[in-house]
Structure 1
Amino acid sequence: MVWSYWRAVIRYGHVGKGKEISVARYLVMPDYFMMVDVMTVINEMPGTKKRAMTSLRKIDYTEYLEGLRAEKENFFLQRLFEGKEAL
């Protein structure tokens, strides 16, 4: 299967009353996914706000790998996924 890679800046809630945090996420989707399909997936992610996506663009594989490394160092994402590795 052929894949496409995306960089999305997503607004997350649950960081205090009326507050939010924006985090860059790096996603891999099937190649036939269009931008609208990726937006639908993002809006269904847990912890996201309504109209969660701030920006979205298609990237290449090397930028995707660099982004995954950055995600692993992001404290907010570490807390968000805490305990979900066992699933």
Structure 2
Amino acid sequence: MLKQSYWKVVLRYGHVGHRNEVHVARYLAFDEGVTLLDVYDSAKNMPGVKSARGVNSAKKVDYREYCAGKEAEEKNFYLQKLMSFNQNLDAVA
């Protein structure tokens, strides 16, 4: 099994009103060999992320911070709504 690298990526999400956005920290795991550019490319294509300048910041974090961040993601109201909306779209398609 390959070692993992863990990243905190702050993303700008849209669809919250005209010219408005929400900044949400996402915690992502990748294979150890990925670069910051690889993380950026992956994150900018996530559902709901603004197309222009969607990635606000990205930094490598340790496993403990990654786990705490994943718990925070589960409690994030915006992400809960985003995930349930995307599941509803998958059911229709």
TM above 0.5: yes
The Cα offsets for residues 11-69 of structure 1, whole Å up to 9 and x where unpaired, read as 00011111100001000011111000000001111111121111110000010000000
Runs of 4+ residues deviating >3 angstroms: none
Unaligned runs of 5+ in 1: none
Distance 1:57 1:11 in 2: 16
Identify the structure with the greater strand proportion: 1
Q: CA RMSD in A?
A: 1.7
Q: How many residues align?
A: 87
Matches within 5 A, 1:1-20: 1-20=2-21
Unaligned runs of 5+ in 2: none
Name the structure 1 match of 2:65: 63
2:40 paired with 1:39 = yes
Identity of aligned residues (%): 43
Name the structure 2 match of 1:54: 56
User: Shift of the alpha carbon at 1:2?
Assistant: 1.1
Identify the structure with the greater helix proportion: 2
